[in-house]
Amino acid sequence: MNLTAVYAVLVVAIVFEVLGTSAMQAAQHFSRLLPTVMMVACYAVAFYFLSWSLRYVPVGIAYAIWSGLGIVLISLVGYFAFGQKLDLAAVCGLGLIIAGVVVLNLFSKSTFH
């Protein structure tokens, strides 16, 4: 499988993880049925695609990309969809996470096997 396809599968996992986390916020402690069902379904899809990508990407690298980009994306969803504010320290921290993911992908020889 080529590198683009492997990372596309990982991106699908990230998108569904972000959707699941967004649904978790909307589920309000599992008191709302539809968001709760959506959360469970999205996490199931996210973990399926994450596990599929582990055939080609080492677990530490895949999880770093999955969690790092997930944190950044869910922070943006929280800001735009839920009105949650980010201070300067949070923005700087998110920038460092993005930088870490970029360094892993551009400079590490362990990202793809």
Question: For position 111, what pLDDT does the model report?
Answer: 66
By the 8 A CB rule, do 104 and 61 touch? yes
Question: For position 76, what pLDDT does the model report?
Answer: 94
CB half-sphere exposure, 101, CA atoms < 13 A:
18
Q: pLDDT for 88-98, tens place per residue?
A: 999 999 999 99
pTM: 0.86
Task: Report whether pLDDT(11) > 60.
Answer: yes
Task: Report whether pLDDT(77) > 70.
Answer: yes
Task: Report whether pLDDT(37) > 90.
Answer: yes
With pLDDT > 90 as the criterion, what percentage of the chain qualifies? 76
* Residues near 3 by beta carbon (within 8 Å), at least 6 away in sequence: 112
